[in-house]
Amino acid sequence: MAARRAGSHGQVCATDGACDTPQGDAGRGGDLGRADPMRCNDAGLSIIKQFEGCRLSSYQDSGGIWTVGYGHTGTEVVPDLTWTQDQADAQLADDIVGRAETPIDTLVKYELDDNKYSALVSFVFNIGSGNFAKSAVLTAINAGDLDDAPTHMNAWVHDRAGNVDKGLVRRRSAEIELYETPVDDDSDEMTA
């Protein structure tokens, strides 16, 4: 497997320079016949918030792209933009759907419990949907090898120079812990 590096906005890229560009909310396909599409649970949202961080004033990221909130970019993000926490939280919810939930719903062909799904939402939010589409993680899941997916998630921990990034190691660890946590039938979330 090729080494990976962190791109701007926290996504992970191949060391050859190819980074995934987040895709917009293109609809919610492949829902495996569920009445309602799955959504990231509170445990998954907590991982995303913890590792993305939130800045309420716009700033230029390491790639020079204007960014605000939890890594949100777009033409509306300009210098001196200030958001409230409510605005950042609302935009994060939209970004999670467009950048992670919709691609997962489209690409994953195997039924997942809430914790596995939510761990993947954090993972895909970070590495990008294009990288996820080509990943061994997706291949393992779609082959029904759910126990093998975390091993492949651990491959996505390298910075731009190909070195192991301690922050990505901690994020993968948190995602894998959630992925491997059984779902409590009453709450559909991580059990204590």
Question: What is the domain partition of the chain in residue ranges?
Answer: 38-180
Taking alpha carbons only, the member of 132, 137, 135 closest to residue 148 is: 137
Per-residue pLDDT of the chain (192 residues; tens, 9 = 90+): 333 333 434 434 433 333 443 333 333 334 444 556 789 999 999 999 999 999 999 999 877 899 999 999 999 999 999 999 999 999 999 999 999 999 999 999 999 999 999 999 999 999 999 999 999 999 999 999 999 999 999 999 998 788 999 999 999 999 999 999 999 865 545 544
Q: Which two tokens stand for residue 21?
A: 């560009």
SS3 label, residue 137: helix
Q: Which CATH architecture has domain 38-180?
A: Orthogonal Bundle (1.10)
52 is catalytic: yes
Give CA–CA dist 171/168, Å, rounded. 5
Of the residues 52, 101, 175, 189, which is catalytic? 52
3-class SS shares of the chain: helix, strand, coil, % to 5: 45, 10, 45
- What's the whole-model pTM score? 0.78
